[in-house]
Chains A and B, each alone.
Chain A
Amino acid sequence: GENVEQHPSTLSVQEGDSAVIKCTYSDSASNYFPWYKQELGKRPQLIIDIRSNVGEKKDQRIAVTLNKTAKHFSLHITETQPEDSAVYFCAASGSSGGGADGLTFGKGTHLIIQP
C-alpha cells in the first residue's frame, strides 16, 4: 500500500516570504497528488493538485512540483499572507490498505504566518 511522509510538521514564516512543504510517497503506481488546506474545526479544502504526467502546476501564489523518479512532491506558497495560516495536507492516490482508490494523506504541516 501507499505511504506518505510530510515535512516539516510546523513551519513559521514572515508575512510576504515564501513557504515550502515537502512530501514523499512510496507507491510508484500513484498518479494523482492533491494538496488540501484545513482551518481549525473546518473541512479540508482542495487548493491545488497535480497528475503524474505533469512536472509543475501553478495557480496564482501557489505552485506544486512533482519528481516522479525521486517520488517526492512539494507545495510552494509565495508572498504569504495571514490568511494562509492553516494546516496543509499532501496526499497521494492509492490507499495504505492497498486499494487503488481513495487517498493516503501525510500527517500535515501547520503553517504559521508571522506579521
Chain B
Amino acid sequence: NAGVTQTPKFRILKIGQSMTLQCAQDMNHNYMYWYRQDPGMGLKLIYYSVGAGITDKGEVPNGYNVSRSTTEDFPLRLELAAPSQTSVYFCASSYMSNQPQHFGDGTRLSIL
C-alpha cells in the first residue's frame, strides 16, 4: 500500500494563478482531510470529507475549494492564489472520525 499520496511535492505560483493539489489514498478510508502548516506552527484544518460526495469546512476554508467524487481522491483547489496561501499543505485520511489519521508527504507551495 502506498498510503496517502500527494502531488506535486513543490510548486511556485504567481499571484492570481490557480492550481489543484492532488491527494489519493489506497486504504479505503472514509474520511479525508486537508491541513495547512505555516512555518513554526501547528496544522490548521482547511476542509474535510466524511465520504464520497460529502465535504465540509474546517477552520480556514477561505480561498479554497474541494470535491470528493470517489473514495480514493480528495483534490484541493486554489482559485486565485494569494501570498497568504504560501504554506505546506498536508492531506490525511482515516477510517472513521476520531481514528488515527495518516498523512501524506505534503506539498510545499509558494505564492510570489
Contacts of B103 in A (CB 8 A): 43-45
Binds A, one of B43-51, B67-75, B76-84: B43-51
Smallest CB-CB A-B distances: 9 pairs: A105-B42, A32-B98, A96-B59, A102-B45, A43-B103, A97-B59, A105-B43, A107-B42, A101-B97
With the chains together, A37 CA to B66 CA distance in Å? 27
B residues sitting closer than 8 Å to A (CB atoms) are 31, 33, 35, 40-45, 48, 50, 56-61, 90, 97-106
A44: contacting residue among B31, B40, B43, B48, CB under 8 A: B43
Check if B101 sits within 8 Å of A99, measured CB to CB: no
User: Which residues does chain A contribute within 8 Å of B97, judged by CB atoms?
Assistant: 93, 100-101
Bound complex: CA A97 to CA B61 (Å): 9
Interface centre among B50, B101, B102 (most CB of A within 10 A): B101
Residues of chain A having any CB pair with chain B under 8 Å: 1, 4, 6, 31-32, 34, 42-46, 49, 51, 89, 91, 93, 95-97, 99-108
Provide the bound-state CA to CA distance between A100 and B57, in Å.
11
Residue of A nearest to B105 (CB): A43
* Cα of A95 to Cα of B43 in the assembled complex, Å: 11
Q: Are B43 and A89 in contact (CB under 8 A)?
A: yes
List residues of chain A with CB within 8 A of the CB of B105.
42-43
